[in-house]
Structure 1
């Protein structure tokens, strides 16, 4: 009698291929799982470093979108540390950085590049005046020595008056301050002659709580407007306040103060 030998693989070739692919996928899935989540060090399932590295190449964090997300997170952290009062600039006030920009870069504007400003290392930046602004915007030349910048502003421009040429209150305040013959002389910034004047006024409102002009700043802090300085003058307090701010008063008008 003739014997019939049973083949080792039964079924159609299509079925055999499906089984093989299933085994391959299960193996790859296991390697991926262990490479990402790991296994106890004593477990026989622990992978070699080479296999872990192989599996890591296929992890979500190493994918194209994953790398983009990681880069964005790192970028966000860097940007976060570039704001006044945060990270490396914890001791810097945005108002001091703004005054540096206005006094060290008198020809620059926040809207100079079609509504944005050209900043070294950042390109064209659109300034959102309603939020804290990256300090790099206030040093568009890429020089970020804020300790030196702040000291220079306070020494050279301790008194800054934000004004508008047509505003009668601004004129009145400037006339009063001129009568004091202050040294160093007040730095006058006429917002209406600057293309970015509305942006600056909005930033000042956010930083000083004062949205109108004149807005008079002594060492970076607002001391008020026209009515305020006139009242201090009448109450003989203005001269003392200015002298305490490091200014020298020479005018005869201050003798009654």
Structure 2
């Protein structure tokens, strides 16, 4: 009984080594080209990963494409630079004190929690990232500065036990001022030393009281008493946006002192 010989069926990808190389080489080149494109330009939208996966480092996108990467590489947003060239740090500090009375620059074991930045250590002797003064992530500085200057054009940085602070506050209280001065007692704040250090850097005055009119220091106790004695305090305050509705009926001679706390 005769039988026909059947050649074995060829296996997948069978063929000469040259044919196999000719098949794989274009695929390898295409993969390399795709990886290079993603590295240089980022993944196309339909291949993008979710933000959570990007943040833990999945994918081929460079670090700057993820939120974590952007924060790590972000340049501090300082007053006098870029988009914040017209924002003074002193005005940003006043916004922080007025809009966030419960917040502190050292609230989180010596740091402050800032939206998008995490915990930030504040060195008052160095320029502070403006985002620290808006820890909730609201960076509408034009509106913030306008509101502070309208609501609190006169701000007094004081210490409750300081006799010179008490003397200056008493003089201002003897007038009827609208709006009333904003008093910041820095000795009752845990971040008081940081604030005093920032004020020293920004205003050139390291002692209290430090009296600011429209964000500019007009001095301490002796300075406002001198303006009072020269009958120019009312004019100075009114030029700074403070309405003076009543002046002291009598002016008692004040003992002058040239030392502040």
TM-score strictly above 0.5? yes
- Contact 1:96/1:220 (CA < 8 Å) preserved in 2? yes
Give the 3-state SS of the residue equivalent to 2:206 in structure 1. Answer: coil
Q: Distance in 2 between matches of 1:79 and 1:153?
A: 27
Q: Distance in 1 between matches of 2:89 and 2:194?
A: 14
Cα distance change, pair 78–254 in 1 and its aligned pair in 2 (3 A): farther
Per the alignment, residue 20 of structure 1 pairs with none
Aligned with 2:80 (options 79, 85, 94) = 85
Per the alignment, residue 219 of structure 1 pairs with 214
- Contact 1:170/1:226 (CA < 8 Å) preserved in 2? yes
- In the TM superposition, 1:1-257 aligns within 5 A as 53=33, 78-80=74-76, 82-253=77-248
- Contact 2:63/2:70 (CA < 8 Å) preserved in 1? no
- Contact 1:180/1:254 (CA < 8 Å) preserved in 2? no
Please state which structure has a larger fraction of its residues in helix. Answer: 1
Q: Distance in 2 between matches of 1:96 and 1:163?
A: 18
- Contact 2:71/2:116 (CA < 8 Å) preserved in 1? no
Cα distance change, pair 150–254 in 1 and its aligned pair in 2 (3 A): farther
**CA deviations over 1:158-190 (Å, ceiling 9, x no partner):** 000000000000000000001111100000000
TM superposition score normalised by structure 2: 0.70
**CA deviations over 1:1-50 (Å, ceiling 9, x no partner):** xxxxxxxxxxxxxxxxxxxxxxxxxxxxxxxxxxxxxxxxxxxxxxxx97
**CA deviations over 1:27-83 (Å, ceiling 9, x no partner):** xxxxxxxxxxxxxxxxxxxxxx979958969x9xxxxxxx66999997687424x11
- Contact 2:71/2:117 (CA < 8 Å) preserved in 1? no
Per the alignment, residue 23 of structure 1 pairs with none
Per the alignment, residue 7 of structure 2 pairs with none
TM superposition score normalised by structure 1: 0.71
Q: Distance in 2 between matches of 1:225 and 1:76?
A: 41
- Report the alpha carbon displacement of residue 129 of structure 1 after superposing the two structures with TM: 1.2
Q: Distance in 1 between matches of 2:188 and 2:202?
A: 21
RMSD: 3.1
Higher mean alpha-carbon deviation, 228-237 vs 69-78, is at 69-78
Give the 3-state SS of the residue equivalent to 1:253 in structure 2. Answer: coil
Q: Distance in 2 between matches of 1:124 and 1:173?
A: 37
Give the 3-state SS of the residue equivalent to 2:222 in structure 1. Answer: helix
Q: Which runs of 5 or more structure 1 residues have no equivalent in the other structure?
A: 1-48, 60-66
Aligned length: 205
- Contact 2:105/2:122 (CA < 8 Å) preserved in 1? yes
